[in-house]
Amino acid sequence: MLALPASILEPQPGRLGSTTPASVTQGLSEKVSKCCDLKVYNPINEICCQSTIISKRGPMAECCGKDVFDKDKQLCCGPADNKTILVRNSRHHECCGHSQYDTETQCCCSNEKLEIQSKDSSCCVRNFTPGVEKQITELQPNCTEPNTHLCGSSCYNPKESQCCERNQKPHWFCASV
């Protein structure tokens, strides 16, 4: 077993008090690599989805929860904790809860629940803003707990985590890209 100098186990500047020793991955340039929690990956052909490294299936790959989807051919619909991947019916289709709707002929109305309605329905007409396509993908929660704020579609406590690109992350996993 390799003995590490005590200085490595001391908190390091920029590591927010971490005592976990750093690791080096051979054969991967630091100029193109990224971290997925404590694992290094190549963002050219891999993606990090909820702390899991997954091979990209194409250039338009994005995370949908713990899965990967092609944003040109698929939609990632539903609330942050319950995502569903759907085959996109056309380039005009968007999410409305766990369903998709055609933005040219329909709208996503937020009454008691999300509903797809015809664009000429009273809900669509009432919620239409000229020049702006109103898209509702999920109901936004009210953050009523003390010291909580909205992050994407969920509430978070900034003392415990940080909001990174609309996703909650522990403070030390939120890095600028």
pLDDT value at residue 116: 92
49 in a structural domain = yes
Higher per-residue pLDDT: 169 or 72? 72
Query: What does the pLDDT average to over 73-99?
Result: 93
| Domain around 112 | 73-139
Q: What is the DSSP string of 57-97?
A: SSTTEEEETTEEEETTTEEEES-TTS-EEEE-SSTTEEEET
User: Maximum Cα–Cα distance for the chain, whole Å?
Assistant: 72
Sign of CA dihedral 81, 171, 140, 138: negative
Tokens of 99: 């369903």
Say which DSSP state 51 is in: T
Residues 6+ apart with CB under 8 A from 37: 48, 51, 173
Which pLDDT tens digit goes with each residue over 55-70? 998 888 999 999 999 9
Same domain, 151 and 114: no
Same domain, 59 and 99: no
The CA–CA distances, whole Å, from 72 to 6, 13, 79 equal 50, 41, 20
Q: In terms of Cα–Cα distance, which of 16, 47, 157, 18 is closest to 8?
A: 18
pLDDT value at residue 37: 84
pLDDT value at residue 61: 92
Which pLDDT tens digit goes with each residue over 104-143? 999 998 877 888 999 998 888 776 544 333 344 344 556 6
Q: In terms of Cα–Cα distance, which of 92, 62, 88 is closest to 74?
A: 88
Q: Which residues, listed in sequence order, are joined to residue 77 by a DSSP beta bridge?
A: 84
Residues 6+ apart with CB under 8 A from 108: 94, 95, 96, 97, 101, 114, 115, 116, 135, 136, 137
Whether residue 99 is predicted with pLDDT greater than 60 in this model: the reply is yes
60 in a structural domain = yes
94 in a structural domain = yes
pLDDT value at residue 130: 42
Does pTM top 0.75 for this prediction? no
80 in a structural domain = yes
Whether residue 2 is predicted with pLDDT greater than 50 in this model: the reply is no
